[in-house]
Amino acid sequence: MGALKKLAGQTAIYGVSSILARFLNFLLTPFYTQEGMFSDVQYGIITEMYAYVAFLIVFLTFGMETAYFRYSTKKGVDQSLAYRNSLYSVTLVSGSFILLAILFSQPIANWLVYPNHAEYVIWFAIIVGLDALASIPLAKLRKENRAKKFAMINVVNVAVNIGLNLYFLWYCKGNFEAGNSNWLIDLTYSPEVGVGYVFISNLIASSVKFLMLGGQLQYKGDFDWQLFKEMFRYAYPMLFVGLAFIINEMLDRMMLKSILTKTYLQENANLSFTEANELAQGQLGIYGGNYKIAMIISMFLQAYRYAAEPFFFNQEKEKDSVKTFAKVMNFFVIIVTMMFLAISMNLQIVKHFTPNSIYWEGLVVVPILLGANVLLGIYTNQSIWYKLAHKTYYGAMISIMGALITVTLNLIFIPMYGYMASAWATFVCYGAMVVVSYFMGQKHYPIPYNLRKVGLYVFLAFGLFMIRWRVDISEDINWLQFSYNNALIGVYLAIVLFLDKSLWEMVSTKLLRRK
């Protein structure tokens, strides 16, 4: 249990930064979607642009973060040399990307159908480049177990971002529209910028984070070309893993607008392209707003990943490490299925996360996306087998399979079912990846997962959700329904504690200590 407590402790520290940080950013969604701030069409711009950011960061880091973890713990490899190789290579790629994006900003803006906003391309190129560069120094902090410094940098980054959002969109916009402008507002605010202030805030926050990592940016010493080739052979399949993962996570938001625009034009010959594009962008905004709710689980996943990846690599050397990995899976599944139930059973409360009722029609996708994130979490735990076994190309194959499922299902079903198709495509994709990864992992790096328990936890959670009390989302809270649905969560927790004696011992011990 000592190793599990260490992982839990590291996850908690990373959680303070990453979950708190993402949660605070998460709270910007109700701020953006309140009446009078941004329309669903404008929020669609935010949703689309940030989908591209996630995709590009994976491309610019091209798996070197994971390669650094692997080779910094590999016998006979100089840790500092592995770090410099990762840092130098990511710096070269990111710097080249920023330069090219600036040079071709207008053609890119035309392709995105934002011809009057080439500045968006430049701002996002710098954001992506700086965040990619920061990933390697942040990985070094994780490798050295300097979780507190890691937490501080992330919290400051988010504080700057939120502070600037509040300054531009609450203080400046609010006072300007109320006719209470002053010299500071006149100097820093222009209503024509609109959603651009969201991007400007992010740009400044990313710059601050990069500057705070200055001490870790050690551009001193040699670059070992031979070691880099070995690291790159390990890393490049991880690039495909990362790209496929982002396709699974983000491609639906990239595809929705263009597919729905074509669909609306085909269904209504009286619509102009501009009108069809605006309708599609509104649907993207509604989907994006509700997707944010489902990201509560993915916030936990991010904190867990930060702690789990170095933990798994270090734990590999210990006796009975595979048994530890199996226990980690049990506890992990319990946590994420509880989160699934807590949110999906209480949509009448959760709906107020997007205060403008125009977004509530999309709440139907939230349980589907939450379930998809449960499956993603299981896959995240499973995926350690190909990293430890040095068979990252298998990870690439599984991820590419998932990406093909995502693309195919979205292309076929978005014209018929809109964003509902995107939600189900995500669920099916991760389900398929879990199944394939399990059987391949048992062949190449067997881990004795307790399939009975894991399967029971997942199917029990989904089953209890199916027998929930369904009500009209547009209605006010029904306290009888609230009590019934949350009683089902209590039933789930009681069954889990009964089945998992080690969890019960852990909980009861803590309760006795408090008394």
The per-residue pLDDT for range 315-363, each reduced to its tens digit, is: 666 667 778 788 888 888 998 999 999 999 888 888 877 777 788 888 8
- In this predicted structure, the answer to whether residue 429 has a pLDDT above a threshold of 70 is yes
Q: Residue 23: what pLDDT?
A: 64
pLDDT band at 420 (very low <50, low <70, confident <90, very high): very high
- In this predicted structure, the answer to whether residue 504 has a pLDDT above a threshold of 60 is no
Q: Residue 512: what pLDDT?
A: 41
The per-residue pLDDT for range 238-247, each reduced to its tens digit, is: 777 777 777 7
Which of 458, 403, 394 has the alpha carbon at shortest distance from 428? 403
Query: CB within 8 A of 146, min separation 6: which ones?
Result: none
Q: Residue 508: what pLDDT?
A: 47
The per-residue pLDDT for range 29-80, each reduced to its tens digit, is: 778 877 777 877 787 888 788 878 877 888 888 878 878 877 877 777 777 8
Say how many C-beta atoms besides its own lie within 10 A of residue 272's C-beta.
9
Q: Residue 15: what pLDDT?
A: 52
- In this predicted structure, the answer to whether residue 226 has a pLDDT above a threshold of 80 is yes
Instruction: Fill in the DSSP letter of residue 179.
Output: T
* C-alpha span between 38 and 285 (Å, rounded): 10
* C-alpha span between 145 and 160 (Å, rounded): 25
The per-residue pLDDT for range 151-160, each reduced to its tens digit, is: 788 888 888 9
| Conformation bin of residue 203: beta by default, left when phi > 0, alpha when psi is -120 to 50 | alpha
Q: Residue 299: what pLDDT?
A: 74
pLDDT, averaged across the chain: 82
Which of 120, 284, 108, 102 has the alpha carbon at shortest distance from 196? 120
Higher pLDDT, 64 or 367: 367
Q: Residue 307: what pLDDT?
A: 67
Q: Residue 5: what pLDDT?
A: 56
Q: Do the beta carbons of residue 389 and residue 325 sit within 8 Å?
A: no
- In this predicted structure, the answer to whether residue 1 has a pLDDT above a threshold of 60 is no
Which of 174, 161, 209 has the alpha carbon at shortest distance from 26? 161
* C-alpha span between 23 and 20 (Å, rounded): 5
Q: Residue 316: what pLDDT?
A: 67
pLDDT over 90 percentage in the chain: 21
Higher pLDDT, 418 or 500: 418
pLDDT band at 511 (very low <50, low <70, confident <90, very high): very low
Burial class (CB in 10 A: 0-12, 13-18, 19+), 476: exposed
Q: Do the beta carbons of residue 236 and residue 58 sit within 8 Å?
A: no
Residue ranges of E strands in 56-122: none
* C-alpha span between 439 and 437 (Å, rounded): 6
Mean pLDDT of 281-288: 86
Reported residue count of the chain is: 515
pTM summary value:
0.69
The per-residue pLDDT for range 86-130, each reduced to its tens digit, is: 888 888 999 999 999 999 999 999 888 888 889 989 999 999 999
Burial 481-505 (b: 16+ CB within 10 A, else e): bbeebeebbeebeeebeebbeeeee
Q: Do the beta carbons of residue 485 and residue 469 sit within 8 Å?
A: yes
In the block, residue with structure tokens 């995107």: 422
Q: Residue 510: what pLDDT?
A: 46
DSSP code per residue over 372-419 = HHHHHHHHHHHTHHHHHTT-HHHHHHHHHHHHHHHHHHHHHHHHHHTH
Which of 217, 303, 283 has the alpha carbon at shortest distance from 422? 283
Give the best-scoring range by mean pLDDT among 231-235, 290-294, 379-383, 410-414: 410-414
Query: CB within 8 A of 313, min separation 6: which ones?
Result: 69, 70, 73, 387, 388
* C-alpha span between 344 and 18 (Å, rounded): 23
Q: Residue 413: what pLDDT?
A: 93
Q: Do the beta carbons of residue 232 and residue 67 sit within 8 Å?
A: yes
- In this predicted structure, the answer to whether residue 438 has a pLDDT above a threshold of 50 is yes
The per-residue pLDDT for range 460-470, each reduced to its tens digit, is: 999 999 988 87
User: Per the structure block, which two tokens stand in for 213?
Assistant: 């990592």
Instruction: Fill in the DSSP letter of residue 476.
Output: P
State the maximum Cα–Cα separation within the chain, in Å, rounded to a whole number.
Answer: 71
